[in-house]
Structure 1
Amino acid sequence: MNLIKTNKFRGYLKVWGAPISLLIFLFLFGALGYRFTEGWDWGDCLWMVLITITTIGFGEVEVLSSAGRVITFLIIGGGLFVVQLTLQRFIQLSELGYFIKLEELRLRRLIRRMKNHVIICGYGRTGKEIADQLYSEKISTLIIENDPTRKTEAEEKGFNVLLADATMDETLLLAGVNNCRSLVVTLPNDAANLYVVLSAKALNDSCRLIARAANEEAASKLKLAGADAVVSPYVAAGRTMAASALRPIAVDFIDLLAGSDCEIEEFKLTEHVETIETFRSQHEYVFEISKRGEALLLATKVSGQLIGNPKNKVSISPGMILIFLGSQEQLNRIRVHLKEVLVKTT
């Protein structure tokens, strides 16, 4: 596969072979001509060819002989031919979509190197807000959009955009769904969102899936399809406005958190009972938060039940989710401590 892609890239470069070869030949011919007719050193010869071809307007290195003027005349004629050939090739390739294909090839090569990035399907109003937030957090992001106008708008903001249909498996694979940290689906159609979630879940079961839903019925179906989180803009807006009226400090705290170096992160433990038991026996039966002096444990989640503000000593169990607040450095230390029992994600 890599050999095919390499050959394809070489094929795109091959179309410039003739103009480049003619230009190199013209330089060599001119330099040799000045060398034999004027006796200059190679540096002066090449410099004279350069200023002649580019018509910069600098004066002659030295006064030219009659033979040297003939060489100059031939260089000027050859330069006009090479320039004309290059312009014709440029126009032809532009009409054939060469530069668009070359940009797509560049983007695909970039995507293959992306790891632990976030994929956003759809650059509508919701997608724009998510992309801007991720950009402010300096998170590697890739947008999938099938509208050329929105694609251009996103690229003007500096985002990498894949112009394709997000509901297609090949598109998700090309976007690096196997290497991403999460995939956010914000397509305007609930059926399309459901289709993307089903496809992504089948391609990478460990990928965190966040989907947009217009109503509660669509939200329940998306959760059944495998979405880890489903957000309804109308419901979320209503809850936020209600919280602002009842608990304004809590809402302000979330806004402050978004602009700080602190993060809230979930650590999901493996479902494998023997692995949990081995970890307990090798370390301690309980996870003693107070002794580690690391990130703050905000809550635990077991079998769908959320327990806020847990005690310092937490007995870990299979499938438990630990929710921490702290800096990236503190969270990394927690991750290292729990690496033996964490669910493996890409």
Structure 2
Amino acid sequence: MASLRWRPWRRRPPSTRIRRPWRAPLALVLLVNLAAMGYRLTEGWPWADCYWMVAITISTIGFGEVQPLSPAGRVVTVLLILGGLVVVQISIQGVLGLSESGYFRRLRERRFRRWLKTMQNHVILCGYGRIGREIAEQLTRERVPLLVVEMDHDRRIAAEDRGLPVLMADATLDETLLEAGIHQCRSLVAALSSNAANLYVVLSARGLAPNCRLIARSDSDEAERKLRLAGADQVVSPYVSGGRTMAATALRPLAVTFMDLLAGSDCEVEEFRLSSNPMVLGSLNGMSLGELQLGRRTGALVLAVQPGEAPVAGGLQYRGASYPEQDRTLIANPGSDHRLAPGQMLVVMGSQEQLEQVTSLLGAALESVEQMAG
């Protein structure tokens, strides 16, 4: 029974097991240097002649002796031949067996996981199916750093063929999202084929990173409600979006063509949320868009404005304008007389440089800046 007892000292850590294949090559290097030192001590040759003698002897080429050997030198040669036969054979077998043992694969995985820790402001894409591939194409076209999380081997190969980094892991697990950099990413997209899997991803992500922007895919209205309850900021149904696009193409083909052209340009649309604190908003509180001259100063275009959430006597009061509580939809194409107020969200279109100028212009009055989904 004693032989069945668990002996923890016999188990080797993974790092030790990985380094083991290199012991034979290290032994070969040691043998070469010891043999060269033996010739140096017994024959007094220069180091170049010592190593040359070791090379022609251990490789069995046998060009002949560099100089006549003394009896002590012959002993060194015999030991070198015997040791070389064993060490060289083991070294060759060890090197050839590295690939079969998965050693190089483990090294690549280690380098990849160290690289993951350096990613910042990237998008985590969970799932590389048909929807995920289209999302990846759009983000790659916009030069947005992207990390794909996928469990399927064929989809992983497809993503890597497109030059995308892939984390082969279960996206529903907390440790996977942490490894993917949930705290450093700009947003997470749950595009798995299962509504339940997307729900698990959103629940895990929201619990780990409350401020992370979460976009999820759904196949039904019920799944959409549950995903929003779980914490998804945006829920997209491919069927609903596809139907709306087809209807819009039938009714307003030029508008749809313009949006497609816009998606392929360097223009972006971002949401600029103003601070809900009037003191932080400062001089911008109550200033009109005409007075701000955002378009002239930055070149960007304000597409829409969403009123804030500060209720006053049953309505939302903004110095000079009052919006009913139930009417908090987007105000498209706001005029120059529209006034800024705490909690408002400005939807602005422009190039990356122009949007950065908008950020600088609004300064401390900004509460958040988000790129619009879709």
Which TM-score applies when normalising by structure 1? 0.80
- Deviation of 1:142 (Å): 0.9
Task: Give a deviation string over 1:81-110, Cα, whole Å, max 9, x none.
Answer: 445334544576656654444333222211
Q: 2:284 aligns with which of 280, 283, 289?
A: 280
Q: Output the CA distance in 2 between the equivalents of 1:77 and 1:273.
A: 86
More displaced stretch, 122-131 vs 240-249: 240-249
Q: Output the CA distance in 2 between the equivalents of 1:54 and 1:113.
A: 45
Alignment of 1:46-195 (within 5 A): 64-67=66-69, 81-89=86-94, 97-195=102-200
Q: Secondary structure at the match of 1:135?
A: helix
- Deviation of 1:222 (Å): 1.9
> Which residue in 1 is equivalent to 2:340?
316
Distance 1:69 1:222, change over 3 A: same
Q: Output the CA distance in 2 between the equivalents of 1:46 and 1:240.
A: 75
More displaced stretch, 207-216 vs 94-103: 94-103
- Determine if contact 2:298/2:354 at 8 Å carries over to the other structure: no
- Deviation of 1:32 (Å): 3.9
Q: 1:230 aligns with which of 231, 235, 243?
A: 235
Q: Output the CA distance in 2 between the equivalents of 1:40 and 1:251.
A: 84
- Deviation of 1:50 (Å): 6.6
Q: 2:354 aligns with which of 313, 330, 340?
A: 330
Q: Secondary structure at the match of 2:148?
A: strand
Q: Output the CA distance in 1 between the equivalents of 2:193 and 2:234.
A: 17
- Determine if contact 1:206/1:345 at 8 Å carries over to the other structure: no
Could you tell me which runs of 5 or more consecutive residues in structure 1 were left unpaired when the two chains were aligned: 1-7
Q: Secondary structure at the match of 1:159?
A: coil
Task: Give a deviation string over 1:277-325, Cα, whole Å, max 9, x none.
Answer: x3537x9676432441331222222355112212245433333222222
- Deviation of 1:130 (Å): 1.2
Q: Output the CA distance in 1 between the equivalents of 2:229 and 2:343.
A: 18
Q: Secondary structure at the match of 1:340?
A: helix
- Deviation of 1:216 (Å): 2.2
- Deviation of 1:75 (Å): 6.1
Q: Secondary structure at the match of 2:157?
A: helix
Q: Output the CA distance in 2 between the equivalents of 1:101 and 1:305.
A: 52
Root-mean-square deviation (CA, aligned residues, Å) is 3.5
Aligned residues: 334
> Which residue in 2 is equivalent to 1:305?
329
> Which residue in 1 is equivalent to 2:319?
none
Q: Output the CA distance in 2 between the equivalents of 1:21 and 1:177.
A: 41
Alignment of 1:193-232 (within 5 A): 193-232=198-237
- Determine if contact 2:294/2:358 at 8 Å carries over to the other structure: no
Q: Output the CA distance in 2 between the equivalents of 1:89 and 1:187.
A: 42
Q: Output the CA distance in 2 between the equivalents of 1:251 and 1:295.
A: 21
- Deviation of 1:70 (Å): 8.7
Matched AA of 1:170 = E
- Determine if contact 1:112/1:176 at 8 Å carries over to the other structure: yes
- Deviation of 1:203 (Å): 1.6
- Deviation of 1:9 (Å): 8.9
- Are residue 248 (structure 1) and residue 272 (structure 2) matched? no
Q: Output the CA distance in 2 between the equivalents of 1:343 and 1:12.
A: 51
Select the structure of larger CA radius of gyration.
Answer: 2
Q: Output the CA distance in 2 between the equivalents of 1:336 and 1:54.
A: 69
Q: Output the CA distance in 2 between the equivalents of 1:272 and 1:83.
A: 75
- Determine if contact 1:181/1:345 at 8 Å carries over to the other structure: no
- Deviation of 1:336 (Å): 2.1
- Deviation of 1:189 (Å): 1.1
Q: Output the CA distance in 1 between the equivalents of 2:49 and 2:268.
A: 62
Distance 1:298 1:65, change over 3 A: same
Could you tell me which runs of 5 or more consecutive residues in structure 2 were left unpaired when the two chains were aligned: 1-12, 309-327
Distance 1:169 1:149, change over 3 A: same
- Determine if contact 1:279/1:341 at 8 Å carries over to the other structure: no
Q: Output the CA distance in 2 between the equivalents of 1:118 and 1:226.
A: 17
- Deviation of 1:234 (Å): 1.2
Q: Secondary structure at the match of 1:187?
A: coil
Distance 1:109 1:284, change over 3 A: same
> Which residue in 2 is equivalent to 1:267?
272
Which TM-score applies when normalising by structure 2? 0.75
